[in-house]
Chain A
Amino acid sequence: MEVFNIKNLSFSYPKSSKKALNNISLTIEQGDFVLLCGKSGSGKSTFLKMLKPQLTPAGSISGEIIFNRKNLIELSKKESAEKIGFVMQNPDSQIVTDKVYHELSFAMENLAYDREKIRLKSGEMASFFGLSNVFNNDTNSLSGGQKQLLNLASVLTLQPEVLILDEPTSQLDPLSAENFLNILKKLNRDFGITVIISEHNFEEIFDFANKVAVLDNGKVCAYNTPDKISVDLKNYDENHPILDAFPVSLRVYNILNRNYCNNVPLNINQGRKFLKETFNNNIKKLDEEKKITHVIKNKNVVISLKNIYFRYEKNGNDILKDFNLIVNKGEIYTLLGANGSGKSTAVKIISGILKSYHGKIKLSKNENIMYLPQNPLILFVKECVINDFELSDNRDKIGEISKIFGIEHLLYNHPYDLSGGEIQKAAIAKLMLFSPSVMILDEPTKGIDPFAKNELKKILKNLQKNGVTIIIVTHDTEFACSVSDRCGLLFNGNIISENSSKEFFGNNGFYTTSANKMSRGFYENAVLIEDIIKLCNLNGEKNA
C-alpha cells in the first residue's frame, strides 16, 4: 500500500523566483526505508517539511501529496501529529521541557491521552530506548546522542506510521550515530514503520535502505533501489557529486566501472567479497608509498606538552593523565579517540582556555595560537560576517582572505543564514585575520556535508603551505586520514599510538578508515579509496 503518493509537487519560497522544489513525483510504499541524498541546499529539508503539514513553510505550492489515499491538506491536526513523526537535525533545540519523563509525555499530553496511557507509553519508550536510568534526570544533563534518542522516543510515543528524519545524526559522534541508526533500522524491520531519512553519511544505512532518492536543485534526479541508483544517477549526470559520497565499496565499484548487473557491493563485507572474487590481488603494496610517507625533515618543535594532568573537578577523575604531545612546525596533526577520551580537553589546554594542574607546556616563541571551537557560530557576535571580521587587527586583509576562502558573496550575510560548510569556512577565515601560526580545530567536520568536507580539506592544505601548523580533533577517520601528516589515538587520558597517518590507519584494526577495512588482508596500508583503485588496476581482473 502506498503511504505517500506525491504528484508534480513544486514549491517556491515567498519573494523567490527560484523553485525550491521542482515537479517532484514519487511514491513511498508502506514499510519503505527511503534514504534521501543531495548536497546542502538541494531542497532536502524543504521536501521533508512538505510531508508534515505542521512544518510546511510559507510559500506557493502546486501539485498534491496523497497520504493514505487522503489529501495531506485534509488531514486533521491531530491525525497528522499522530501519524507522521518528525525528527530534526539539532538534538538540543528540539527538546522542550526540563525533565526526561516530561519530554516523553509531552506529545501525549498535547493530544489529551489519558494518564494511564501516558504512564504506560512513556515507561515503555524509556525502556526500549535505554533511557530508563535517566528517566528522572534533567534533559540538559543528557549527552547529544541521548538527546536525539529522546527526541525520537518522544515522537514514537504517538505510534506514528511514518517517521521523517532530517539529518538526525549530523551533530552526533559516530558511535551515537550508529546506535541511533540501528534503532531506526529496528523500528523499520520489527515494527514496519515507514522511514524517510536524509543523511550525509551513507556508510551505515545505504545497504539497509530499500529506496534511495537523489535530489538535485529541487528535482528528484534518481529514485531507485540502492544497487541500481548509481546507474540511474550516472545516466542523469556522469560526474554527479553525490557519487563521491556513496559508501566506499560502491564507489570502488563505480569508479572501476564494471557493469556486473548483480552483486553490487553496498557495504564493506560485500566490498571485500567483490575485491576477492574480481581481482588477482598479487600486488599487495603500492611502490610509491615510500615517497608519500615523507616525514618533515626540519623537526622544528612548535608545541610540546609533557606529563600533563588535568581534571575538571577537584574530586573528579583525571581527564588527562601523563599526556605527552609534540607537534612540529608546519604539520597537520590529528588527535583521534572515542567520546570522553579527552581530545577536546587536550586542545583546550594547548590553546590556553583550560589550565593543567601538573606538567609542562612549551610553546616556541611568537606563536599565535587560534582555536576553532566545535560550534563555529560562537566566533560570530555581530549582525553580519564582515562586522565580525572588522573586529580583528588586520582589516586590510579582509578582502584578500575572503577571496582565498571563496566567501566574498557571504560577507554581508547574517552568520546564522550561512550553511554548515559556509560558516566553517567563514570561521576559519576570521581566525586567519589574526594571522595565527598555529590553528587548532575542534571537530571541524561536524554537521557539514561531504562536499564542504572536501573544500575544508583543500583549505587546510593551503594553510599548511603558508606555514600554519594545524592541530585537528575529530571522529572522522576518512577526513583525518586524507588531510593529516600524523595522527595520534587518545585513550584514557594519554596517547597510546602515534604515527604518520598512513601507517597509523594501516596498523589500526578497528579504529580505521572504511577503505582499510575493506582492503585488509588483500592489500597493505590501503587506507584511501584512491589506493584501492590503483591497486585494483595494477592487479587486474581474474577473468580477463
Chain B
Amino acid sequence: MKAFSNFHPVVIFIYFIAVFSVSMFTQSPVYLLISMTGSFLFLCVLNTVKISIISFLKYIPFSILIMILNPLFSHNGATPLFFINNNAFTFETLIYGAILGLMILCVIFWFKSFNIIFNSEKILFLFGKISPKISLIFSMALHFIPNFSRYFNEVLAIQKKLYKKSKFKMYISCFSAVVTHSLETSVDTADSMSARGHSTGKVTNYGRFRFKTDDFILLVSILILIILTYIAIVTGASKVSYYPVIIFSNLDLITFISYLAFAALCFLPGMYEIKEDLKWKYSISKI
C-alpha cells in the first residue's frame, strides 16, 4: 500500500500542486468532477472504501450549505427563481454555489490524501532543500508540541485535585508552570545540540530519498499532462461563465485533450496504487 509515497518528495509535491491548482482556479464543472472522482478513488485506495464514503458523506452537508448560502449573498444571474427582501435568488448563483461547494470538496479530498502521503519526513526534506534551519525548527516543533501538551495534561490532572482557588487561575498557573518547565528543558536541549556540533559551520541536510528513474518518468508525465491541461484553461477554451447566464464553451479539440489529460493526471496515483496492489497479489499467488 501507499506505493505512491515511495516516489521522491519533490515529484509528489509537484503532483499535488498541479492537481490543487487546477481544482482551485478553474470553475468548470468538468474539471471539478474529474478531480473529485480522482481524489475519491485515491482516498479509497489509501484508506478503505467505507471510510472514504463516510468522510464523503460527512462533507456533503457542508457543500450544500455553501450552495444555498451563495445565492443569499450574490444576486447576479438572469433567471431569478424568487425574490427575498426584493433581492433576486437566481438559478445561476445557485449553480455557482454548487460549483464552489464541489471545489471545496475536491480540495478537502486531495488534502486528505496529501496528508497521508506527505508525512513530516517529506515536508522536512522539502524545507531542508530550501533551508536546513527551517527544516530543523520544524522538526523540533514536531517533537516539542506533543511533549508540551502531554506535560500540561499531567500537571493539570494533579493540580485539579490540589488547587483550591478559581479554575481559571489554576489553568493560568499550570500553563505558566509548563512554560517554565519547557524553558528549563530547552536549556538542556540547547546543550545537547551544541555538544553534538550544532552551529559549527557547514550543515548537510540528510534525507533518505534518492531521485530514481521512476521519479524522472513520473515527473515528466506530470509536467506533460499539466501543460496539456493548462493550454485549454489559459486560452479560455474550456472556460465556463456563470453570469448573467450559464454559457459552456464549445467542446473543441483543445478542450477535449485538456479534459483527457487532467483525467489522466487525477487518476494516476489511484491507478498506480491499484497496479502495485495487483502486482503484489500476483507475486504472492506465484509463491
Binding site for B on A (CB under 8 A): 52, 54-55, 77-78, 81-82, 85-86, 88, 90, 92-99, 101-102, 105-115, 118-119, 122, 138-140, 151, 154-155, 158, 352-353, 371, 373, 375, 377-382, 391-393, 416, 430, 434
Contact = CB atoms under 8 A, between A and B. Distances in A.
Given A99-B121, A381-B155, A107 B197 contact: yes
A106 B146 CA distance: 20
Given A102-B124, A109-B203, A112-B203, A154 B155 contact: no
A93 B180 contact: no
B158 A379 contact: yes
Contacts of A77: 197, 200-201
A21 B205 CA distance: 40
A78 to B, nearest CB: 5
Interface stretch (B52-60, B104-112, B162-170): B162-170
Nearest to A119: B208
B210 to A, nearest CB: 9
User: A-B pairs with the 6 shortest C-beta distances?
Assistant: A81-B197, A93-B188, A98-B142, A93-B185, A107-B196, A381-B177
B192 interface: yes
A47 to B, nearest CB: 15
B260 to A, nearest CB: 39
A112 B192 contact: no
Interface string B130-145: 0010001001101100
B173 A140 contact: no
Contacts of A154: 196
Contacts of A416: 180-181, 184
Interface of B: 120-121, 124, 132, 136, 139-140, 142-143, 146-147, 150-151, 154-155, 157-159, 161-165, 173-174, 176-177, 180-181, 184-186, 188-189, 191-206, 208
23 contacts: A77-B200, A78-B201, A82-B197, A86-B192, A94-B188, A96-B143, A97-B140, A98-B139, A102-B121, A107-B197, A108-B204, A109-B206, A110-B197, A111-B200, A112-B203, A114-B204, A119-B206, A140-B146, A140-B147, A155-B196, A158-B196, A378-B159, A393-B164
A74 to B, nearest CB: 15
Contacts of B120: 98-99
A88 B165 contact: no
Given A115-B206, A140-B147, A391-B164, 15 more contacts: A88-B188, A94-B188, A94-B192, A97-B139, A97-B142, A106-B196, A109-B204, A138-B143, A155-B196, A352-B161, A378-B159, A378-B177, A381-B159, A381-B163, A434-B162
B197 A111 contact: yes
B contacts with A: majority SS: helix
Contacts of A371: 158, 161
Contacts of B194: 54-55
Contact of A118 (B173, B177, B206): B206
Contact of A110 (B162, B188, B198): B198
A92 B185 contact: yes
Contacts of B177: 378, 380-382
Contacts of A54: 191, 194-195
A118 B195 CA distance: 18
B143 A353 contact: no
B204 A112 contact: yes
A105 B158 contact: no
A92 B182 CA distance: 11
Contacts of A138: 143, 146
B165 A391 contact: yes
Contact of B164 (A98, A110, A353, A392): A392
Contacts of B186: 93
Contacts of A85: 195
Contacts of B204: 108-109, 112-115, 118
A112 B157 contact: no
Contact of A81 (B173, B196, B205): B196
B195 A377 contact: no
A416 B185 CA distance: 10
A392 B165 CA distance: 9
A513 to B, nearest CB: 31
Contacts of B161: 352, 371
A54 B196 CA distance: 9
A97 B164 CA distance: 38
A55 B177 CA distance: 26
A418 to B, nearest CB: 12
A352 B181 CA distance: 26
B185 A110 contact: no
Given A140-B146, A378-B154, A90 B196 contact: no
A392 B136 contact: no
A391 B198 contact: no
A94 B191 CA distance: 8
B145 to A, nearest CB: 9
B206 A95 contact: no
Contacts of A434: 162
Contacts of B154: 373, 375, 378
Contacts of B206: 102, 105, 108-109, 115, 118-119, 122
A112 B155 contact: no
A52 B192 CA distance: 11
Contacts of B199: 110
Contacts of B189: 93-96
A155 B208 CA distance: 20
A90 B188 CA distance: 8
B138 to A, nearest CB: 9
A392 B162 contact: yes
Contacts of B184: 416
Contacts of A378: 151, 154-155, 158-159, 177
B142 to A, nearest CB: 4
B196 to A, nearest CB: 4
A96 B200 contact: no
B127 to A, nearest CB: 13
Q: Which of B120, B162, B173, B196 has the most CB of A within 10 A?
A: B196
A81 B181 contact: no
Contacts of B188: 88, 90, 93-94
Contacts of A95: 143, 189, 192
Given A77-B197, A381-B155, A381-B177, A102 B139 contact: yes
A101 B197 contact: no
B157 A55 contact: no
B195 A86 contact: yes
